[in-house]
């Protein structure tokens, strides 16, 4: 539910030689956390700079801090750049921080320097540095209009993204770049990273589409058009295609067969077509849903 209300479904792609892998994509939209709170009328007050005094003050008044990080700088992960990874800072003494992370049910103790580096995210795409904020208190009043608004945001961002690195247009750009993807010197690392980004790393499987299908299933009783569009079934079908794409990427690096990336690109083309149709239907239906007091 949080993933859906935060309009977390998305697609981002970058093909920049400054990064490793060069061809990198992910099925999650940026700023899930910010959009979730914005839906309920709160802007997260991202610090935008390293401000240890503000972190300590927030902890002192009982407010944990939400943060977007690059896991390469978190010592309990392998040193691989992976952006926008959410953690919660629960304690801070100026020298060390204690953070809650999906890595473990136990709090992780890291140094202040490691936290700062993870927040800054140097040499990592899509990172906006020092996105750390004291978590506001929110009254969660969820109605059909609010849910529809979150779906409208998701569809709008996918169909008409703010830049060339996002949404359906970025999917089509990756498809058109299939030859360059296959010919890149780090193609095997790229294929492995793609597989992990689709099936591992907190996606729920199927490139986050399984998560979004569950969200749509949960909200369908409040929004009759979810069933009339067969949105749950179509999103699950998209998740299956994403898993098929991941399988081609896995075969590529395991079997040392870069040609399998051509197969992956063909599946991504099918995904772009099917998701464009589904999201267009969801956008129109969501936009027509009455809003209640917002």
| CATH code where residue 123 lies | 3.90.70.10
- Rg of the Cα atoms in the chain: 20
**What pLDDT, on the 0 to 100 scale, is given for residue 24?**
93
- Is there a single domain that holds both residue 208 and residue 267? yes
**What domain count does the chain have?**
2
- Is there a single domain that holds both residue 121 and residue 182? no
- Is there a single domain that holds both residue 33 and residue 77? no
Instruction: Tell me the Ramachandran region of residue 39: left when phi exceeds 0, alpha when psi lies from -120 to 50, beta otherwise.
Output: alpha
Averaged pLDDT for residues 285-294: 81
- Is there a single domain that holds both residue 144 and residue 22? yes
- Is there a single domain that holds both residue 177 and residue 73? no
State yes or no: pLDDT of 28 exceeds 80.
yes
- For the stretch 154-189, pLDDT in tens is 999 999 999 889 999 999 999 999 999 999 999 999
User: What tokens were used for 178?
Assistant: 């299939």
DSSP string computed for 116-144:
HHHHH-TT-TT--TT-EEEPPP------H
Whether 292 is covered by a domain: the verdict is no
**What pLDDT, on the 0 to 100 scale, is given for residue 139?**
84
**What pLDDT, on the 0 to 100 scale, is given for residue 115?**
98
Mean pLDDT of the chain: 94
**What pLDDT, on the 0 to 100 scale, is given for residue 144?**
96
Neighbour-count burial of 122, counting CB atoms closer than 10 A to its CB (0-12 exposed, 13-18 middle, 19+ buried): exposed
- Is there a single domain that holds both residue 15 and residue 58? no
- Is there a single domain that holds both residue 153 and residue 206? yes
Whether 293 is covered by a domain: the verdict is no
| Extended beta strands in the chain, E state | 9-15, 23-28, 65-69, 85-92, 96-101, 104-111, 132-134
- For the stretch 203-247, pLDDT in tens is 888 999 999 999 999 999 999 999 999 999 999 999 999 999 999
**Boundary (domain end) residue, out of 134, 152, 168:** 134
Question: Which structural domain range is residue 114 located in?
Answer: 45-134
State yes or no: pLDDT of 258 exceeds 70.
yes
- Is there a single domain that holds both residue 258 and residue 211? yes
What residues pair up with 99 in beta bridges, in sequence order?
Answer: 89, 108
Whether 294 is covered by a domain: the verdict is no
pLDDT band of 292, cuts 50, 70, 90: low
- Is there a single domain that holds both residue 105 and residue 228? no
- Is there a single domain that holds both residue 57 and residue 96? yes
**What pLDDT, on the 0 to 100 scale, is given for residue 294?**
46
- Is there a single domain that holds both residue 84 and residue 50? yes
- Is there a single domain that holds both residue 125 and residue 10? no
């Amino acid at each position: 539910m949080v993933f859906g209300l935060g309009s977390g479904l998305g697609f981002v792609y970058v093909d920049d030689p400054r990064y490793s892998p060069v061809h990198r994509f992910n099925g999650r939209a940026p700023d899930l956390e910010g959009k979730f709170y914005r839906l309920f009328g709160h802007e997260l007050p991202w610090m935008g700079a390293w401000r240890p005094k503000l972190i300590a003050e927030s902890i002192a008044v009982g407010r944990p801090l939400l943060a977007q990080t690059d896991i390469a700088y978190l010592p309990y992960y392998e040193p691989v750049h992976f952006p926008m990874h959410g953690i919660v800072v629960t304690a801070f003494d100026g020298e060390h921080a204690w953070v809650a992370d999906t890595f473990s049910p136990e709090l992780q103790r890291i140094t202040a320097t490691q936290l700062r580096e993870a927040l800054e995210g140097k040499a990592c795409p899509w990172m906006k540095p020092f996105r750390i904020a004291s978590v506001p208190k929110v009254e969660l009043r969820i109605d059909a209009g609010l849910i529809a608004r979150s779906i409208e945001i998701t569809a709008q961002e996918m169909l008409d993204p703010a830049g060339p690195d996002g949404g359906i247009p970025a999917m089509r750009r990756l498809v058109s770049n299939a030859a360059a993807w296959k010919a890149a010197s780090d193609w095997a690392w790229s294929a492995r990273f793609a597989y992990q980004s689709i099936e591992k790393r907190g996606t729920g499987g199927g490139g986050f589409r399984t998560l979004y299908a569950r969200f749509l299933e949960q909200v369908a009783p409040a929004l009759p058009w979810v069933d009339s569009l067969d949105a749950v079934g179509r999103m699950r079908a998209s998740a299956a295609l994403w898993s098929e794409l991941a399988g081609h990427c896995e075969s590529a690096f395991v079997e040392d067969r870069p040609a399998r990336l051509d197969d992956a690109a063909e599946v991504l083309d099918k995904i772009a077509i099917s998701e464009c149709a589904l999201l267009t239907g969801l956008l129109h239906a969501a936009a027509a849903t009455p809003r209640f007091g917002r």
